[in-house]
Structure 1
Amino acid sequence: MKKWKMILTAAMPLAMALSFPAFAGEWHEDMNGWWYENDDGSYCRNGWDWIDGDHDGWAQCYYFGNSGYLQMNAGYAQTNTGHADGYEIDKNGAWSVNGVTQVKAVPIAVAENDPEALKVYEEAQQLSESLPSANIDVDYTITMSYLGQDIDMSMNMKLMMKEDANGDMQFVCKGTADTLGTAVPIDMFYTDGYMYVNTMGIKYRQAMDLEAAKAQATQINMDLDTDVVKGLRMYTSGDTRKLAFTIDDQKINEVLTAVTSATAETYEELGVTLDMKINESNGEMTVNKDGYCEAMKMFMDYGMSVTDHTTSEADEMNYKMDINMTYKNPGKEVYFEIPSTDGYEDIAVAYVADAE
């Protein structure tokens, strides 16, 4: 799949990874065992904490007891197995699953890309570009801030994408959106320059020229490998490699402008202008033994402004979004059929009819 398609997948309205606090500090050992002192002088206790002990941007998860000491089985050295709080741990006391130590990317002040990590990232991108189709499970956890209130939302989507005989993109997407405890099914697909949406029996379509967006993104020389990704670093565990990075705000906003301009005409017909800006974004890619991206995590903090042409009033919203993407059978071709387009109304026509 082309690089812009990965951007589109992430930007579509995308579960949080297991989350414990991450601390910077220092390990200590005394006659009673190991404990960890945080930068503020406090120490970890009563639970699991993500700790980047060597400050390389990758944290491991450790369990500390009430006294603040790292919890491990006393017989670990003899049995080569260990557990803490009912979970498997490795020889250093870090949480592991089936013998694989679990890691989590944490922020570090590094702008340069590690050359080895960049090579693996570029090769995975090239493989993705060569694929004509993809099958992706996408989970979104979103907090929207509006008028001083926070609203939590989530979406779970199954997305299949492919290029047709002309090289144009098609996709089908099924899922569920949950807002304030109310779950709404979503069924949508894209073909021939239109996004089709069917939710609870209400069918509409919206013109969306993704090919124009792709062309515009190409004109600004968008390159995910060198222009956008910063602080790229790698963690290797067996045949699996994890790549963590931050994203250049200016470059990603140029791409966002290219994508949103594809729907600008529709919003103009509705009498509003939509502006979006990404404030912060970072991610983590998992590459399998064959060099394919098999998972992607992303965090986005972005603002959205909707201005009414009649009143010139603007509604301001902020979104914080965690995205988990799992690529199913990467490298294998995906087959699907586009549903019938019968019975879908243009969104602008439906809006005018409702207003009248």
Structure 2
Amino acid sequence: MKAKMKKISALFLSCILLFSITACQKKRTAKEVMQSSLKQSSSLKDADFNGNASYTIETGKEGSQSTINFKMNFDTKLQTLKKDNLKMSMTSTINMLGQNINMTMYYADGYYYMNSNGTKQKMKMDIASLQKQIHSTTGQSTLPIKYYKDLKLSEDDGNNVISYSINSDGLNKYVENITNSMSAITGGSDSIKITSMSGKKTLNDKDLPVKESIKMVIESNSNEVGKITLKMDLIYHNPGKSVTVSLPKDLNTYQEVSSNN
């Protein structure tokens, strides 16, 4: 009997220790979860996502303001080939002033292609070199964790949900560095500033986003009066999995235009 009680006591003690260890495991903070998510996302080569965006453009001074609203939905696939060669396909519909504009966009072999309601154009754009230049300039392939603030962590149906806002001063410096890196395309313009940005990510068990919402307010950096409010909702399909991009056979018929047009 004593031997049996000893075994039962030992089993009971083992269970207590097991649950104690489980209960005492450190729960990650919101910052640790965001850091992990940024790290996991920066290593991704392919992506398949769709979403919608709404833009509100306000111009003029108070009392004489005018507002334009337009919405956009899109479906995007990105595939990275050998030597970091990128392929992209994207379909979108923009609704503006009661009219729909249908667009398809592609990227392959150093060219960006756009078909807007039958008008087909292409523009030379070396994204692989641009990505390397941005990384060498900013030291990051994603927005650094130091720019995130007001991080809050919750759960939804077993998934981690993290909300955040962005330090606009740091963000604008980061955007400025990227813009300068893209000077061949943008002219290095610093005419805009981001005055606020916030968002929410729903993450899977590998800390990769499956859903994301973003709100951003952009204002002029010059004497112009006005602002743009952008709201965007994204859904990621099978994050972390490889993606295959199909390109149309008529890309050789697209008319080449200058990036300055």
Cα shift readout 1:288-307 (whole Å, capped 9, x = no counterpart): 2343210111111013579x
Is the contact made by 1:118 and 1:225 (CA closer than 8 Å) also made in structure 2? no
Q: Of 120, 123, 137, which aligns to 2:50?
A: 137
Change (3 A) 1:350 1:226: closer
Please state if 1:125 is matched with 2:41: no
Aligned to 2:138: 220
Is the contact made by 1:121 and 1:225 (CA closer than 8 Å) also made in structure 2? no
Is the contact made by 1:137 and 1:157 (CA closer than 8 Å) also made in structure 2? yes
Change (3 A) 1:290 1:173: same
Aligned to 1:332: 241
| CA distance in 1 between partners of 2:179 and 2:162 (Å) | 28
Q: Of 211, 219, 223, which aligns to 1:295?
A: 211
Deviation of 1:185 (Å): 0.4
| CA distance in 2 between partners of 1:156 and 1:199 (Å) | 15
Deviation of 1:215 (Å): 3.1
Change (3 A) 1:200 1:274: farther
Gaps of 5+ in 2: 1-26
Aligned to 2:84: 167
| CA distance in 1 between partners of 2:108 and 2:174 (Å) | 21
Please state if 1:343 is matched with 2:261: no
Structure 1 segment 103-114 matched on structure 2, within 5 A: none
Deviation of 1:260 (Å): 3.5
Flag the structure with higher helix content. 2
Q: Describe the SS at the equivalent of 2:29.
A: helix
TM-score, normalisation: structure 2: 0.76
Cα shift readout 1:55-97 (whole Å, capped 9, x = no counterpart): xxxxxxxxxxxxxxxxxxxxxxxxxxxxxxxxxxxxxxxxxxx
Letter in 2 for 1:121: M
Deviation of 1:212 (Å): 4.2
Structure 1 segment 13-28 matched on structure 2, within 5 A: none
Cα shift readout 1:252-292 (whole Å, capped 9, x = no counterpart): 22332344445533565xxx967332111111110123432
Change (3 A) 1:126 1:220: closer
Deviation of 1:115 (Å): 5.8
Letter in 2 for 1:328: H
Structure 1 segment 47-86 matched on structure 2, within 5 A: none
Is the contact made by 1:281 and 1:300 (CA closer than 8 Å) also made in structure 2? yes
Change (3 A) 1:249 1:322: same
Aligned to 2:172: 253
| CA distance in 1 between partners of 2:134 and 2:189 (Å) | 21
| CA distance in 1 between partners of 2:221 and 2:120 (Å) | 26
Cα shift readout 1:182-210 (whole Å, capped 9, x = no counterpart): 11101001223332111011111233343
Letter in 2 for 1:117: A
Gaps of 5+ in 1: 1-113, 307-313, 352-356
| CA distance in 2 between partners of 1:286 and 1:255 (Å) | 24
Letter in 2 for 1:149: S
Aligned to 2:201: 285
Deviation of 1:248 (Å): 2.0
Deviation of 1:339 (Å): 3.1
| CA distance in 2 between partners of 1:116 and 1:348 (Å) | 48
Change (3 A) 1:188 1:161: same
Instruction: Extract structure 1 runs of 4+ deviating beyond 6 A.
Output: none
Change (3 A) 1:158 1:299: same
TM-score, normalisation: structure 1: 0.57
Is the contact made by 2:179 and 2:186 (CA closer than 8 Å) also made in structure 1? no
Provide the identity percentage. 20
Q: Which has the higher contact order (CA 8 A, sep 6+)?
A: 2
| CA distance in 1 between partners of 2:99 and 2:238 (Å) | 32
Letter in 1 for 2:127: L
| CA distance in 2 between partners of 1:130 and 1:332 (Å) | 12
Q: Describe the SS at the equivalent of 1:336.
A: coil
Is the contact made by 1:276 and 1:304 (CA closer than 8 Å) also made in structure 2? yes
Please state if 1:183 is matched with 2:100: yes
Aligned to 1:150: 67
Aligned to 1:265: 184
* RMSD, matched Cα: 2.8
| CA distance in 1 between partners of 2:170 and 2:86 (Å) | 23
